[in-house]
């Protein structure tokens, strides 16, 4: 609670958290939608925003507001699970590599460097093409989780290498502390802040990549996501038809999500900065 109070004193964190709260509420509203997001021609087409249809309707005969709630929910689900999976891989590989050293470290870093050398976008496109017919939310989360761990693995590994050379590590080893207890009780608390910050950053990465793959037609467009919503709007030439509400809705929601994640990530990074901690202690 104390940490949250201090974070909310930061205006950027408060703003980012407020925007995220609104987006989560919109995503939860999808469970109360009167329309099935997969059905077409359930409402009049190309209607501008009104009391009956808050964000108008599209050329597919769908209510844009309610479809947006499904898109926000699905994009957040993919972002959270994709980021969580990549964090699990990054933490596991970083811990094993940093603590073991030697041949294990070299092999794991060789694999990590191999992922980093190959352009990430090409890997995503190739894998998406291979599983295009099975590109549901679960497989999208798996895809983004598999390719998003190498960069952060090196950060975690470097942190573990530093912790391994500290006096408390030697004391724990000499006192017969099991390796598992040393890792979970001593090392994990040190790297949790780093994992949290990279988790938020990876959520933004997942949302951006999902929209990119949708725009080039490598996701299942029948599943409402922000990328699929934007793809349909462009395919039906919403710009030429001046259906601005259809085109702007996924763009505004995506930008709001990116900005919110950025503000929260920056605020948390500043809070965890050792120099900022010293300043807070001095201020007290």
| Highest mean pLDDT of the ranges 89-98, 171-180, 191-200 | 89-98
- Residue 76: predicted pLDDT: 95
- Residue 85: predicted pLDDT: 92
pLDDT higher than threshold 70 for residue 34: yes
- Residue 281: predicted pLDDT: 45
- Residue 15: predicted pLDDT: 92
Neighbouring residues of 116: CB distance < 8 A, sequence distance ≥ 6: 150, 151
Q: How confident is the model at residue 282 (pLDDT cuts 50, 70, 90)?
A: very low
pLDDT tens digits for range 209-240: 999 999 998 888 889 999 999 999 999 989 88
The residue-averaged pLDDT of 228-257 equals 92
Name the burial class of residue 278, with classes exposed (0-12), middle (13-18) and buried (19+) by CB atoms within 10 angstroms of its CB: exposed
pLDDT higher than threshold 50 for residue 69: yes
pLDDT higher than threshold 60 for residue 203: yes
pTM beyond cutoff 0.85: yes
For the chain, domains (ranges, CATH) are: 21-28+63-283 (1.10.3720.10)
The residue-averaged pLDDT of 166-191 equals 80
pLDDT tens digits for range 127-140: 888 888 888 888 89
pLDDT higher than threshold 60 for residue 277: no
pLDDT higher than threshold 70 for residue 2: no
pLDDT tens digits for range 113-170: 887 777 888 888 888 888 888 888 888 999 998 888 888 888 888 888 888 888 887 7
């Amino acid at each position: 609670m104390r940490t949250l109070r201090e974070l909310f004193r930061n205006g950027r964190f408060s703003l980012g958290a407020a925007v995220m709260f609104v987006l989560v509420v919109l995503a939860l509203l999808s469970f109360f939608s009167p329309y099935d997001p997969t059905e077409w021609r359930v409402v009049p087409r190309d209607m501008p925003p009104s009391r009956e249809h808050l964000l108008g309707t599209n050329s597919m005969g769908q209510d844009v507001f309610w479809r947006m709630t499904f898109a926000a929910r699905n994009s957040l689900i993919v972002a959270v699970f994709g980021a969580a999976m990549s964090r699990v891989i990054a933490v596991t590989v970083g811990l094993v590599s940093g603590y073991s050293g030697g041949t294990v470290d070299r092999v794991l870093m060789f694999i990590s460097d191999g992922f980093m050398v190959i352009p990430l976008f090409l890997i995503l496109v190739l894998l998406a093409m291979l599983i295009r017919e099975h590109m549901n939310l679960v497989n999208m989360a798996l895809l983004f989780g598999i390719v998003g761990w190498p960069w952060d693995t090196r950060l975690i590994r470097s942190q573990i290498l530093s912790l391994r050379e500290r006096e408390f590590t030697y004391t724990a080893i000499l006192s017969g502390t099991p390796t598992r207890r040393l890792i979970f009780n001593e090392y994990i608390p040190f790297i949790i802040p780093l994992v949290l910050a990279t988790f938020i950053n990876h959520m933004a990465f997942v949302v951006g990549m999902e929209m990119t793959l949708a725009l080039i037609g490598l996701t299942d467009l029948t599943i409402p996501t922000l990328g699929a919503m934007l793809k349909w709007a462009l395919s039906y030439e919403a710009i030429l038809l001046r259906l601005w509400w259809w085109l702007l809705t996924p763009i505004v929601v995506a930008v709001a999500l990116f900005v919110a994640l950025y503000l929260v990530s920056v605020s948390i990074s500043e809070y965890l900065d050792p120099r900022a901690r010293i300043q807070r202690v001095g201020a007290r």
